[in-house]
Amino acid sequence: MDRASVYLETFGCQMNELDSQLVTSSLRSLGYRFTTEPDEAGIVLYNTCSVREHAEQKVWSRLGELAIRKARQPGLVVGVLGCMAEREGEALIQRMPVVDVLVGPGELDKLPTLLDNAVRTRASLADLPEARTLSDTPAERKPDLTLLRSAGAVALQGNTGRRSATLAAAADTLEGLDLSRTVSPEDHAGSAYVRITRGCNKFCTYCVVPFTRGAEVHRPPDHIVDECRRLADAGVLEVTLLGQTVNHYRFEHGAAVTIGGVIQPQKGRVYASADGTRRDAYAGERVTTFADLLRRIHEEVPAIRRLRFVTSYPRSFGDDVLDVIRASPRICRYLHVPAQSGSDRMLKLMNRGYTIAEYMEFLHRARAALHQPEIGRPLTVAGDIIVGFPTETDADHEATKHLLAQARYKNCFIFKYSPRPGTVAIDRYDDDVPDDVKRRRNNELLALQQQISASVSAEYAAAEVDVFVQGISKRQAKVDRRPVSGGGVSLTVRGRTPDAPPDHIGADADCGACTTVATAPATRESAGTPVQLSGRTDGDLIVFFDCPTGRSPDSLIGSIVRVRIDECRPLSLHGTLISGR
Ligand code: 5AD
Ligand code: SF4
């Protein structure tokens, strides 16, 4: 076991993947090494997700396994990062004393210090004779939490994360983590995430995110543009802007908060003016809207050949944003805009704040503005649906089927409702839809979406598309039978490898099963068959093609190539390389 080597496993969403990348870059700069073999690591970190119970169960079981290992190797350091740390708090360490370090998503900048403390403490324990540790009774091992806090093993926002007085401070320290991001060409395969907003203020009744990630805070546009520029300078061609509700991005220049000791503008609020009316900003104050931000990045960083953003909220998606996308050739014609249900009654119970008529009005407006297949620029849309929300009837379920048919998503993630502690829904409504009914509805929606995805896919027959090459296909990795190793390409999309059906269509993609997969750069053909590469279109459709004989796959990975589509499947397009760098 190498005490300075870290195994980091990421569960859940793209926001977590970005957090893991930032943590990796900050720990690397301090001399930690990363390994993809947990057994070799002296430090095991889990960056966790709390959105569904299943995701948390996976982590509990991993921690149980680590407890057995730690009895043998007392020097092992275990850290739980992310939403589960924040949601469970110190109770997590009480239940699983194997955990040395607990860091919420709003405190990740503190990880290096905490880890350093833990490594030192554990190193001294490791020198004890093994028998001493093994003879510990569980009671003796129960951690003294006051001690842990003062020893700097726990960093959580707690419920202070939503208090406006501490919001500035939270933004302040976290901004440092994003700002200190080091980008080197080895860290990416041409693609990177950039956060624009932290937290969420929507409080959908089923969702833990507003509690674990805290209140919505928007990053200063200069920081975002600068980060995009640095990524582009390091060779990144594709940037995905991240936020829980990206289209709500709004930065009011002039409302001050300090970041790293420097006064910075802060996201505005609604201000009461002297006459008692409410307005969005002080007179003369400059505001950067989401449309402005997109336009700035597109204009100021032309080296970014693909700019996308996730996730959009169906409300308040203005025509100004659609106009910017339409006018900007390098902004992808792709929207991920979850409806969550096709039933107005469910949407009300979920506190989503829109009706299906309003949702469809938005989709029609977006398609009218952006869907231009005749010039090779179709708009593709992806969605999320929750099945089996409390009181959901067959009629509500039928309404969701109707929505899928109307919305024509290229793919839709379908989740079984999972009651989450701390949310409004778990307190207010019984989880009264039996699991077999949830499963049946889930399967019906999957089957329907499969047909819809097939018909969206079929429109690409014989088309020539630009493909951003992400890496070798998963099938190919299996053929090669090479161990997965780090330093390569992160192929995860919402925690999924791009060729991992059926979740791409949207099985109940329990994020507990979603872990980041890295593949080694492909360098050889196996048994005379060409290496299969995978990538994505501008509209986020998965494309597979064979690397031509004599070409090195590495020369194509991370670049944009032209592919002619020979075969359309519901989940993917298959084609032939026409041209590439
Ligand atoms: N149960 C099931 N799915 C959920 N989601 C969020 N909270 C829950 C929950 N409690 C889904 C929503 C969201 C996606 C990220 O996860 O569809 O868009
Ligand atoms: Fe959760 Fe709703 Fe916020 Fe999305 S918009 S993160 S579902 S509360």
Q: Tell me the C-alpha distance between 359 and 321, whole Å.
A: 16
Q: Tell me the C-alpha distance between 398 and 356, whole Å.
A: 13
Q: Is 148 in the pocket of ligand 1 (CB under 6 A)?
A: no
Q: Which of 14, 52, 207, 424 to mutate to test the pocket of ligand 2 (most atoms within 8 A of CB)?
A: 207
Q: Tell me the C-alpha distance between 195 and 227, whole Å.
A: 10
CA-51 nearest atom, ligand 2: 1
| 439 torsion bin: left (phi>0), alpha (psi -120 to 50), beta (else) | alpha
Take atom 13 of ligand 1 and give the residue whose Cα is closest.
384
Element (H, E) at 386: strand 380-387
* The two structure tokens encoding residue 479: 């053929």
Alpha carbons within 13 angstroms on the beta-carbon side of residue 552 total: 5
* The two structure tokens encoding residue 407: 């919305």
CA-207 nearest atom, ligand 1: 7
Dihedral sign for Cα atoms in the order 351, 352, 354, 357:
negative
Nearest 5°: the CA angle 468, 469, 474 is: 135
Furthest-apart CA atoms within the chain: distance in Å: 78
CB 444 within 8 A of CB 535: no
**Residue 46: which residues within 8 A CB-CB, separation 6 or more?**
8, 9, 11, 59, 62, 63, 79, 80, 81, 82, 84
Q: What crossing angle do the helices spanning 14-29 and 111-126 adopt, rounded to 10°?
A: 60
Q: Which ligand is nearest to the CA of 426?
A: 1
Q: Which ligand is nearest to the CA of 199?
A: 2
CA-423 nearest atom, ligand 1: 10
* The two structure tokens encoding residue 120: 């030192």
Query: Quick one: CA torsion of 213, 219, 223, 228, rounded to 10 degrees?
Result: 70
pLDDT of residue 492: 30
Q: Is 245 in the pocket of ligand 1 (CB under 6 A)?
A: no
CA-213 nearest atom, ligand 2: 6
**Residue 276: which residues within 8 A CB-CB, separation 6 or more?**
none
CB 36 within 8 A of CB 485: yes
Q: Is 223 in the pocket of ligand 1 (CB under 6 A)?
A: no
SS3 437: helix
Q: Is 207 in the pocket of ligand 1 (CB under 6 A)?
A: yes
Q: What crossing angle do the helices spanning 356-370 and 319-327 adopt, rounded to 10°?
A: 20
Distance 315 CA to ligand 2 centre (A): 12
Take atom 9 of ligand 1 and give the residue whose Cα is closest.
418
Take atom 2 of ligand 2 and give the residue whose Cα is closest.
204
Q: Which of 84, 335, 386 to mutate to test the pocket of ligand 1 (most atoms within 8 A of CB)?
A: 386
Q: Which of 197, 209, 312 to mutate to test the pocket of ligand 2 (most atoms within 8 A of CB)?
A: 209
Q: Tell me the C-alpha distance between 305 and 235, whole Å.
A: 11
CA-244 nearest atom, ligand 2: 6
Q: Is 420 in the pocket of ligand 1 (CB under 6 A)?
A: yes
* The two structure tokens encoding residue 436: 């077999």
DSSP string for residues in 517-540? -EEPPP---BTTBPPEEEEE-TT-
Q: Tell me the C-alpha distance between 529 and 492, whole Å.
A: 25
Q: In terms of DSSP bridges, do strands 380-387 and 334-336 run parallel, antiparallel, or are they unpaired?
A: parallel
Q: Is 243 in the pocket of ligand 1 (CB under 6 A)?
A: no
Which residues pair with residue 262 across a beta bridge?
259
Distance 418 CA to ligand 1 centre (A): 8
* Domains of the chain with CATH codes: 2-155 (3.40.50.12160), 161-332 (3.30.750.210), 338-459 (3.30.750.200), 461-475+523-581 (2.40.50.140)
Q: Is 310 in the pocket of ligand 1 (CB under 6 A)?
A: no
Q: Is 48 in the pocket of ligand 1 (CB under 6 A)?
A: no
Q: Is 418 in the pocket of ligand 1 (CB under 6 A)?
A: yes
Q: Tell me the C-alpha distance between 449 and 407, whole Å.
A: 10
CB 12 within 8 A of CB 82: yes
Q: Is 352 in the pocket of ligand 1 (CB under 6 A)?
A: no
CB 324 within 8 A of CB 296: no
SS3 486: coil
Distance 307 CA to ligand 1 centre (A): 25
Q: Is 467 in the pocket of ligand 1 (CB under 6 A)?
A: no
DSSP string for residues in 308-363? EEE---SSS--HHHHHHHHH-TTB-SEEE---B-S-HHHHHHTT----HHHHHHHH
pLDDT of residue 376: 86
Other beta carbons within 10 Å of 275: 5
Closest CA to 136 of 98, 92, 95, 80: 98
Q: Is 389 in the pocket of ligand 1 (CB under 6 A)?
A: no
Using CB atoms within 10 A of its CB, is residue 9 exposed (0-12), middle (13-18) or buried (19+)? middle
CB 374 within 8 A of CB 402: no
- Tokens 């049946």 locate to 440
- Sequential pLDDT tens for the chain (581 residues): 777 899 999 999 999 999 999 999 899 989 999 999 999 999 999 999 999 999 999 999 999 999 999 999 999 999 999 999 999 998 999 999 999 999 999 899 999 999 998 888 877 665 544 333 323 334 334 455 555 554 557 777 765 455 444 455 555 566 777 877 777 767 778 999 999 999 999 999 999 999 999 999 999 999 999 999 999 999 999 999 999 999 999 998 875 554 444 444 444 444 444 454 544 444 446 899 999 999 999 999 999 999 999 999 999 899 999 999 999 999 999 999 999 999 999 999 999 999 999 999 999 999 999 999 988 899 999 999 999 999 999 999 999 999 999 999 999 999 999 999 999 999 999 999 999 999 999 999 999 999 999 999 999 999 999 999 999 987 766 655 544 333 322 223 333 333 333 333 443 433 333 333 333 444 445 556 789 999 999 999 999 999 998 889 999 999 999 999 999 998 899 999 998 65
* Ligand 2 shell residues, CB under 6 Å: 200, 202-204, 207, 209-210, 244-245, 313
Q: Is 340 in the pocket of ligand 1 (CB under 6 A)?
A: yes
Q: Tell me the C-alpha distance between 79 and 118, whole Å.
A: 9
